[in-house]
Amino acid sequence: MPPRMCPCGLPASYHDCCGRLHRGEATATTAEQLMRSRFSAFSVGDEAYLLRTWHPSDRPRRLGLDKRVTWVRLEVLETSGGSVVHTEGTVRFRAHYTERGRPGHMEEHSRFVRLDGRWVYAGVV
């Protein structure tokens, strides 16, 4: 059986791409990589990773992911900052999903910051 492709949209297996971040074997080096790994976490239902990568100032205690929603595809529309030399960055994206068999999408312009050397999600721009 071929390896499952990563939900984040990059041409790699989940195990070798976002799975490494979810398992704690690596950390995101850019804001975009963190955003992609968070999309993948929604896709695979990894609530613990989502909470770990959320800025503590507004992190919820729990998420309660909706099991009726399946996250199927990600489009990165725009990035600003967020590279290995930045301490802040933004990523605008469109996330596609199905809910009860019906397709949909949502767009967000997310803000990311480095906290103790690691990228974290800091909310919507």
Question: Domains of the chain, with CATH numbers?
Answer: 18-124 (3.10.450.50)
CA distance 61 to 10: 30
pLDDT tens per residue across span 57-93 = 999 999 999 999 999 999 999 999 999 999 999 999 9
Q: Output the pLDDT for position 3.
A: 81
Q: Output the pLDDT for position 40.
A: 98
- Is 6 within 8 Å of 17 (Cβ atoms)? yes
Average pLDDT rounded to a whole number, residues 100-110: 97
Q: Output the pLDDT for position 1.
A: 66
- pTM for the complete prediction? 0.96
